[in-house]
């Protein structure tokens, strides 16, 4: 993997960059839709391409449990399995082990847990996380981390950083495929000094990219912004910075200004399935009765397939009738929105008007159609 | 609507035909996928076009209840509402009133029933059925009928034929849009003499097409074949014959040989959602463990999007994980199968080798991959 900074932004840490992987290149800042179980929910690879998606994330934990990384490997790796030709990033599995699995016990070796699917016992440590991600064959892979709960006290988080550092070293040792770029994950909860400690240890080991983990776990926006601001300066400028699991458009704008290059979040696709649609004016809740006979598209300035073909009335009908097509059309719209939004951010950096764009963005969201 | 017989088959009543409607033409024998609630489940209009579908069916009963025919009319009719440019046939609502609604009471005026959605009381008679279908704007519409249960005794069915005839006359009187072709529905249960009586009464009124209703309600294949054989000769050769709600590929072959031109059935899409996939060798049940690491497509001779891109292993994974994409990919395959199957039947008629084709078809199905 290569990362090039194409242009910096005068008034902030934001930068326009490019990542080159064995499955193609994409520009940053970038948003990666989440393909949890080998599918970005409700969408095919063609849909993603048509929306303009250039890179997706897949969940190591889910694919390890089902269908199993050995099956994916036997079928030629995740790209071929799901027929997605562009770059894939796999997460470490750490976050899901802590948020989904049951009866966890954590030791220096790794984590023993019960599958949320069938209660079966599993063990995953850094060596296993590498073996699984090598079998899946993602272009970017993540070191195995311990994601502290929120809130967590200083002593807990300090130990969590220690484990994460220890495991990161073992991940580096066990990762053997040069086609895969390994990212280290900075932990440290909401404590800037622990974030600094974590970042410095990881940077010392020299990863190909750095992720900020353990955020978007319940903290408020100001806290998150503060933690990012106090962490990014300790990461090398020539490596991409990835903020895991974030977030809302406003959270992305915040983080881009602080120097973050990569994002992933289930929000656009999950909201789509819940009938909450993104617009430049804020969220539109499609089940509202006012849309029952509304002939307008979700957003008449949007260029997505859904907005080009269907009225709010039809989309409301599909949603109320629980038609499967509802989830797909809504997901196409929301991902298009996110993708378009990221390309606007990149254009603004390129044209040296990011701060102006962000100002305009924050102001525009006061006029939500469904306040 | 125009119907032209292009070619007859020497050894059977089968014929190759063409139907021309205000929204385009299609060849017969044809299979119409069912778009119950303004969507062929899990598929968009683009998907249907890509599969090669030329005409779809929509359910009057469902659209009347939700979103309501007035809303569809206000949004420009069903074609525009669901963004489907090709022909649409709407059914009479009769069958669903009898199979889905509760607390029905039937009089000469029509049927009073409770919605299966919210228990609300509704009345639909022939005049209402015409008003609803005119609002929906289908190219082909159906007269309101009474579909006898199965089994039903002679006296019940005789009265059902009487009501259906009475209502058919009132439908003809109330139908006022020349862009819509009205079909009469032949009833008569499993009694050939009542089918004959029903057919003769309707033919006397001169509809633009004739449907066989009240079949595929639980009777065996031989009985159905017998009823069709004893009914079709009483219908005019220059009008299309539509067998409602049928069926399996073998049932379609049976009926084509007996002179039927049009079919609809939820089978390909419903089976798709249940993970049963059609192949020339018979059904393939995708959840079977033997497909867990199978790199082959569903059917390597199939030209559909699903078979071109995905392995049985991936499709099994999506199905087991209840991923929404599973329903769409399976539906694309099954509808492609049906569409391809109908085009093979039409080619066979064109080339004068239908009986040979049918023989080959019946034999091929003995080698089902999932017996």
Interatomic CA distance for residues B332 and B273, integer angstroms: 11
**Position A371 in a domain:** no
Of residues B145, B254, B261, B264, which has the active-site annotation?
B264
Q: Is A359 found in the same domain as A216?
A: no
Report residue A157's pLDDT band, with 50, 70 and 90 as the boundaries: very high
pTM here is 0.97
Q: Please tell me whether residues A276 and A138 are part of one structural domain.
A: no
How wide is the angle at C-alpha B150 spanned by C-alphas B145 and B156, nearest 5°? Answer: 60
Task: Please check whether residue A313 lies inside any domain of the structure.
Answer: yes
Q: Does A190 score more than 80 pLDDT?
A: yes
What residues of chain B lie within 8 A of the CB of A328, using their CB? 42, 44, 324, 328
Does the CB of B156 have a partner CB in chain A at under 8 Å?
Answer: no
B225 plus B260 within the same structural domain: yes
> Which candidate, B151, B192, B188, B144, places its Cα nearest to that of B166?
B144
- Please, which residues have CB within 8 angstroms of residue A67's CB and are 6 or more apart in sequence? A38, B292, B313, B316, B317, B320
- Residue B329: closest CA among chain A residues belongs to which residue? A44
pLDDT digits (tens, 9 = 90+) for A349-359: 999 999 999 99
For chain A, say whether B38 makes contact (Cβ under 8 Å).
yes
Is residue A366's pLDDT more than 70?
Answer: no
A29 shares its domain with A122: yes
In this structure, the answer to whether residues B222 and B295 fall within a common structural domain is: no
pLDDT at A369: 47
Nearest CA-CA partner of B345 in B2, B51, B1, B7: B7
A219 and A327 housed in the same domain: no
- Quick check: A152 pLDDT over 60? yes
| Residue A343, domain member (yes or no) | yes
Domain of A182, CATH number, reads 3.20.20.105
Cα–Cα dist B105/A199, whole Å: 75
| Residue A352 resides in a domain | yes
Q: What tokens were used for B349?
A: 């008629």
Closest residue in B to A81 (Cα) is: B314
Which among A265, A288, A316 is the end of a domain? A265
B46 is catalytic: no
Alpha-carbon gap, residue B114 to B92, rounded angstroms: 17
- pLDDT per residue over A113-149, tens digit each? 999 999 999 999 999 999 999 999 999 999 999 999 9
Regarding whether A306 and A218 lie in a shared domain, the answer is no
Residue A44 lies in a domain: yes
Domain final position from A265, A290, A320: A265
Given B264, B285, B312, the domain boundary residue is: B264
- Per the domain annotation, does A119 fall within a domain? yes
Same domain, B232 and B348: no
Per-residue confidence (pLDDT) for residue A371, from 0 to 100: 39
pLDDT of residue A99: 84
Residues A314 and A261 in one domain: no
**Helical ranges in chain B per DSSP H:** 45-51, 60-65, 69-74, 78-82, 94-99, 126-136, 154-174, 192-205, 221-231, 249-257, 267-273, 305-309, 312-320, 324-350, 354-364
pLDDT for B366 equals 57
pLDDT digits (tens, 9 = 90+) for A60-86: 999 999 999 999 999 999 999 999 999
Asked if the structure places residue A349 within a domain, the reply is: yes
Whether residue A313 and residue B75 make contact (CB cut-off 8 A), yes or no, is yes
In angstroms, how far is the first alpha carbon of chain B from the final one?
A: 43
Same domain, A147 and A293: no
Torsion of CA B357, B361, B363, B369, to 10 degrees: 150
Both tokens of A130, joined, read 């590498």
Residue A231 CA to residue A191 CA, distance in Å, equals 10
Decide the pairing of beta strands A209-212 and A15-21: unpaired
Alpha-carbon distance of B264 to B96, in angstroms, equals 14
Chain A residues with beta carbon closer than 8 angstroms to that of B295:
74-76
Residues B170 and B311 in one domain: no
Write out chain B residues lying below 8 Å of A74, CB-based. Answer: 293, 295
Same domain, B219 and B280: no
- Residue A343 burial by Cβ neighbours in a 10 Å radius (0-12, 13-18, 19+): middle
Q: Which residues of B touch A43 (CB under 8 A)?
A: 325
Measured between CB atoms, does A327 come within 8 Å of chain B? yes
CB pairs under 8 A between A and B: 112
Q: Is residue A228 part of a domain?
A: yes
Give the nearest partner residue to A83 out of B39, B309, B327, using CB atoms. Answer: B309
Total number of domains constituting chain A:
2
- Residue B10, Cβ density class (10 Å: 0-12 exposed, 13-18 middle, ≥19 buried): exposed
Total residue count of chain B as it appears in this document: 371
Whether omega before A19 lies within 30 degrees of 0, making that bond cis, reads no
Nearest-angstrom CA–CA distance, B8 and B28: 12
Domain enclosing residue B97, as ranges: 2-264
A318 touches chain B (CB under 8 A): yes
Which portions of chain B are predicted below pLDDT 50? 367-369, 371
pLDDT value of residue B229: 98
**A102 confidence band (pLDDT: 50, 70, 90):** confident
Give A210→chain B minimum CA distance, Å.
31
Q: Which candidate in B40, B48, B64, B67 is best for mutational testing of the A interface (most A CBs within 10 A)? A: B67
> Does residue B37 belong to the interface with chain A, where contact is any CB pair within 8 Å?
yes
């Amino acid at each position: 993997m290569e990362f090039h900074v194409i242009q910096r932004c005068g008034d902030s840490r934001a930068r326009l960059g490019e990542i080159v992987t064995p499955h193609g290149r994409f520009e940053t800042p970038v948003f990666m839709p989440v393909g949890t179980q080998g599918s970005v929910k409700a969408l095919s690879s063609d849909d993603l391409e048509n929306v303009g998606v250039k890179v997706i994330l897949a969940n190591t934990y889910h694919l390890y449990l089902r269908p199993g990384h050995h099956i994916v490997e036997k079928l030629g790796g995740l790209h071929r399995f799901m027929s997605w030709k562009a770059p894939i990033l796999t997460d470490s599995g750490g976050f899901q082990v802590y948020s989904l699995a049951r009866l966890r016990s954590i030791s220096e070796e790794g984590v023993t847990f019960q599958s949320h699917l069938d209660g079966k016992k599993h063990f995953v440590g850094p060596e296993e996380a590498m073996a699984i991600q090598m079998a899946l064959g993602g272009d970017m892979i993540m070191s195995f981390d311990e994601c502290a709960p929120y809130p967590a006290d200083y002593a807990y988080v300090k130990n969590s950083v220690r484990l994460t550092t220890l495991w990161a070293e073992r991940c580096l040792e066990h990762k053997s495929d040069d086609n895969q770029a390994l990212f280290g994950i900075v932990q440290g909860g909401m404590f800037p000094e622990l974030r600094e400690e974590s970042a410095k240890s990881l940077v010392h080991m020299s990863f190909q990219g750095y992720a900020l983990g353990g955020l978007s776990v319940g903290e408020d926006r100001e806290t998150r912004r503060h933690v990012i601001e106090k962490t990014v300066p300790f990461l090398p400028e020539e490596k991409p910075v990835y903020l895991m699991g974030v977030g809302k458009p406003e959270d992305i704008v915040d983080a881009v200004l602080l120097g973050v290059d990569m994002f992933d979040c289930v929000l656009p696709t999950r909201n789509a399935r819940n009938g909450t649609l993104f617009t430049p004016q804020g969220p539109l809740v499609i089940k509202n009765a006012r849309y029952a006979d509304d002939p307008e598209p979700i957003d008449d300035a949007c260029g997505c397939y859904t907005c080009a073909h269907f009225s709010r009335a039809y989309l409301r009908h599909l949603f109320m009738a629980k038609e499967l097509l509802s989830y797909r059309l809504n997901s196409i719209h929301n991902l298009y929105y996110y993708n378009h939004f990221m390309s606007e951010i990149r254009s603004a950096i390129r044209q040296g008007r990011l701060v102006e764009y962000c100002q305009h963005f924050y102001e525009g969201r006061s006029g939500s159609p469904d306040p």
